[in-house]
Structure 1
């Protein structure tokens, strides 16, 4: 059974406006690591696969999230999305970005929290794969965004963008997946009181060896590990988080994968340390310890995830 609903295929790329382009490039090419595919004015395009870019860094006096871009399957689906947004009264900027943004066609609009989004089709492909690196990457897998109202943000990504709910943590955070089936392509929630913005970006290595090599490299380079090796209860993924000058990055593998023929029933998971990391089970003495540690984690992520 094929899935004909309007829904993006995958997370395509993240555009960040950065304060110091050289400092940002050092992080995203050495710690993550991505490869420069092109420079265009104040922008640098970075890739990890055959697509022209997974990230765009743009020098700006006002650093922050430029946009989250989601790839749709073809032009017909993008046209259908444009009509869908118009019916819903959502203003979207449509354009052809082949020369300026290396995507053939795009729609740009904001989510209810003000996070800028793009839907696009037909990104330029590169003729050769990236050069071999010690840490291999399969894809840019997901982003987690701050939302002033988690329920409203979830309804938007479900009813407007067409994504499906995977899991909730209480009603604080919701994870939603796209057609590629990974447990979440986007997560939305309340993090450290932020009403909008980027909490973190996740990249998918092929397995534990690459995650551990990435961790060793991050430590050698001196970047801060904000959450060390853990296994998440919602997605089952194993990975770690580390902070750069623009936001927090995650390296993880082993996420749950869904088929469109058998979408999951979203779970309502308890808030707790063993939801963030199942290996913490039995190590927490009391509820106040959980609350205190969760607050500290949120503060660390907020302090280092400035985008």
Structure 2
């Protein structure tokens, strides 16, 4: 039986909480569920928070929180941590952290992990611009995904879903989504959070998130892609304060087959984006086609008295 149900929240430390709140409210479309002077909780559903921000003067990943099945599952994981020689401590500050029956420990890669049985629920769901279902997964960077994946399998009960060669592993929890965690090798960015993902209802929501981000001046790390591993369609928006990407995805598949065996996918462009797959007879042009010189737009005539004119086309109407 599964021990961990799925990702519960991501906690980030930030340099200036007001700037970070502006991004996550205006561009990531999350709503503030509770706020203090230096701390804020944001969500897109009924769970009290999907994201926790705390102002410390520096930007980093503070903690990842996972919801466990029940108290028995929490006790089982605590026993496994003891057997592995990993220290843990209780964390039962419901008033401050808004989760109950929790423990915290540091995983072998140095990330602080919190496991909790329950979180405060909001009496009314947040009314959000996008139709958001949950905070789905997080992906972080390490030197040895094989060793890290083994820890999450042996101690927390995650199951392997797929590999990209042996450079990245995707692992699923009890909610059966293709991955609740992803662990990738990147020796240049060790110990960093690469991105976290919010699951939305459909491709329209992904495109709305993309549109608002671009028109707000935010940058995309990846434009709309379709991943080979999970089948999801996504866009990635960069948090300018800490470089973490917020992924909005849809059609993220679930694995129901108990006999499913993880695949080893090739490390190539079409694995990260199926739409980059090219036909066998495709030939890259050796020279770029000549560009036509820009034409001078025709002058706009003023309307004759008593007659109207249509609005000129502009970028804001292209959508």
TM-score between both structures, scaled by the size of structure 2: 0.84
**Corresponding residue SS for 2:18:** helix
- C-alpha displacement of 1:62: 2.9
Matched, 1:207 2:193: no
Task: Find out whether 1:185 has 2:191 as its counterpart.
Answer: no
Q: 2:59, 2:264 → 1: CA distance?
A: 35
Give the SS at the match of 1:11. Answer: strand
CA separation in 1, counterparts of 2:129 and 2:42?
Answer: 17
SS at match of 1:96: coil
Tell me how far apart the structure 2 counterparts of residues 20 and 160 of structure 1 sit (CA, whole Å). 36
Corresponding residue for residue 130 of structure 1: 126
Cα shift at 1:285: 7.1
Shift of 1:235: 0.6
Unaligned runs of 5+ in 1: 287-307
The match for 1:254 among 236, 251, 254 is 251
Alpha-carbon distance in structure 2 between the residues aligned to 1:194 and 1:129: 37
CA distance in 1, matches of 2:81, 2:17: 34
Does residue 1:39 correspond to 2:35, yes or no? yes
Alignment of 1:42-61 (within 5 A): 42-61=38-57
Secondary structure of 2:183's counterpart equals: strand
Structure 1 residue 14 corresponds to structure 2 residue 10: yes
Q: Write the mapping of 1:76-95 to structure 2, written as runs, cut at 5 A.
A: 76-95=72-91
2:17 and 2:278 mapped to 1: Cα distance? Answer: 44
* Structure (1 or 2) with the greater helix fraction: 1
> Is there any run of 5+ residues in structure 2 with no aligned partner, and where?
285-319
Pick aligned residue for 1:100 from 96, 101, 112: 96
Structure 1 distance, partners of 2:98, 2:179, is 25
Q: Is the 8 A contact 1:148 1:194 kept in 2?
A: no
Which runs of structure 1 show a deviation greater than 6 angstroms over 4 or more consecutive aligned residues? 283-286
Tell me the distance in 2 between the aligned counterparts of 1:159 and 1:23.
40
How many residues align? The count is 280
SS in 2 for 1:256: coil
How far is the alpha carbon of 1:183 from its aligned partner? 0.5
TM-score normalised by length of structure 1: 0.88
Provide the rounded CA distance (Å) in 1 between the counterparts of 2:183 and 2:236: 17
User: Structure 2: how far apart are the matches of 1:277 and 1:162?
Assistant: 29
- Give yes or no for the alignment of 1:149 onto 2:144: yes
- Distance between the aligned counterparts of 1:158 and 1:137, measured in 2? 28
Supply the RMSD in Å over aligned alpha carbons: 1.6
Query: Which is greater in Rg?
Result: 2
Counterpart in the other structure of 2:298:
none
- Output aligned runs, 1:102-117, within 5 Å: 102-117=98-113
